Amino acid sequence: LAKTTQPISMDSYEGQEVNITCSHNNIATNDYITWYQQFPSQGPRFIIQGYKTKVTNEVASLFIPADRKSSTLSLPRVSLSDTAVYYCLVGEITDKLIFGTGTRLQVFP
Amino acid sequence: NAGVTQTPKFQVLKTGQSMTLQCAQDMNHNSMYWYRQDPGMGLRLIYYSASEGTTDKGEVPNGYNVSRLNKREFSLRLESAAPSQTSVYFCASTLFVGRAYEQYFGPGTRLTVT
């Protein structure tokens, strides 16, 4: 199972771009990289998923280098409502996914 | 679509009592999951069901049983609750698109065992 390492916490200000990097050195060939967002007292919410290069949706971008040993979640122009915990998960199928403690993002006015 | 629903939202049990947490999804997903989340921690997988009629253990199955009643419903039972089972319990289901997948979570059940 691919273990992930991400910063415990990050601070930012409204309007800034936030990049959260996740390290996954032992990622397997068939593993996808998935990011979730969790607000207090709510279940996690899927943000974005990718296999290689760059993926973009209406919420975020995911950058994956060629060796796939790390990935970076990019949140453009964050707002106060982006304050949450962000989880990086790596795996082929969901029953093998392991949630770590995530990155606690605090956005200040 | 209601997505993933869970009942009850809150529950307080005494040590040794039993209860069943209910989960249902209306998205026609095959796979369903039960997680627990302790304060300040990530989610840990308790049990999962890859399809109707099958269940498998996750990381922390001890003290729990599950039933995949049909494609929609996946219940989690605590036979003899212990204070260590105080946690927030999340149910989830997964949509597979080719090799990619997206997991949908319910709102959670907050359980306190005294």
Model confidence over B66-99: pLDDT tens digits?
Answer: 999 899 999 999 999 999 999 999 999 998 877 7
Is the pLDDT at A98 greater than 90? The verdict is no
Structure tokens at A78: 């964050």
**Largest separation between any pair of C-alpha atoms in chain A:** 41
Which of A41, A95, A100 faces B42 most closely, judged by CB atoms?
Answer: A100
Answer whether B35's CB lies under 8 Å from B16's CB.
Answer: no
CB contact under 8 A, A44 and B43: yes
Instruction: Quote the minimal CA–CA distance from B91 to chain A in Å.
Output: 9
Q: pLDDT above 90 covers what percent of chain A?
A: 76
Is the pLDDT at A94 greater than 70? The verdict is no
Residues forming beta bridges with residue A5, ordered by sequence position: A23
CA distance A84 to B101: 22
**One-letter amino acid identity for B74?**
F
Interface of B with A in 35-94 (CB under 8 A): 35, 40-45, 48, 50, 56, 58-59, 90, 92, 94
